[in-house]
Amino acid sequence: MRRDSIYYQIFKRFPGLLFEFVDDRPQQAQNYRFESVEVKETAFRIDGVFLPPEGTTPRIIFFAEVQFQKDEALHHRLFTESMMYLNRNQSQYDDWYCVVIFPSRNLEPSDKKTHRIFLNSNQVQRIYLDELGTPNTLPVAINLMQLTIASEKAMAEQARLLIERV
């Protein structure tokens, strides 16, 4: 027997019932309204999806986001897009990770509470290019990425030193 319709009717008539199960019940629990909502998909574009090589195990996928402007909706989009991708490719991957690259910490969205389950996990890594260390003391690839945040004045010298290293 399908129970969705039964629970729909119960929650529609008694929306506060859900909060009987919740440990940290909101103060306004009795005033919540229950709705069954259809979510239509819109097109999403993930900055980068790193797919594992064929035949490797475990099959771990990496999602990458590069964010060089303030965007308070970044975490909402990133996790929605990633989970939607995983939903469509359920049996193809054993694990996933997200890597978000910021030029500096001040461009990270201020709301870290809504998505704390992801942000506080080891599956999401936030990189701040300006905190990685002194240019030309790190691996060449990281120095190359740091060039993207260098001032015009420093960029020429950093590029020259990077070319010498290569």
pLDDT tens, residue by residue, 6-56: 777 878 888 877 777 777 777 777 888 777 777 677 777 888 899 998 888
Reply yes or no on whether the pLDDT at 60 is more than 60. Answer: yes
Reply yes or no on whether the pLDDT at 66 is more than 80. Answer: yes
What's the token pair of residue 58?
Answer: 């475990």
Residue ranges of domains in the chain:
1-37, 42-131, 135-166
Reply yes or no on whether the pLDDT at 143 is more than 70. Answer: yes
What's the token pair of residue 3?
Answer: 């129970």
Contacts of 164 (CB under 8 A, 6+ apart): none
What gap in Å lies between CA 83 and CA 80, rounded to an integer?
5
pLDDT tens, residue by residue, 107-137: 999 999 999 999 999 999 999 999 988 877 8
What gap in Å lies between CA 4 and CA 23, rounded to an integer?
23
Checking 154-162 for CB contacts under 8 A at 24+ apart, the result is 161/135, 161/136, 162/135, 162/136
Q: For residue 1, what pLDDT is reported?
A: 47
Tell me the pLDDT of the chain averaged across its residues.
Answer: 86
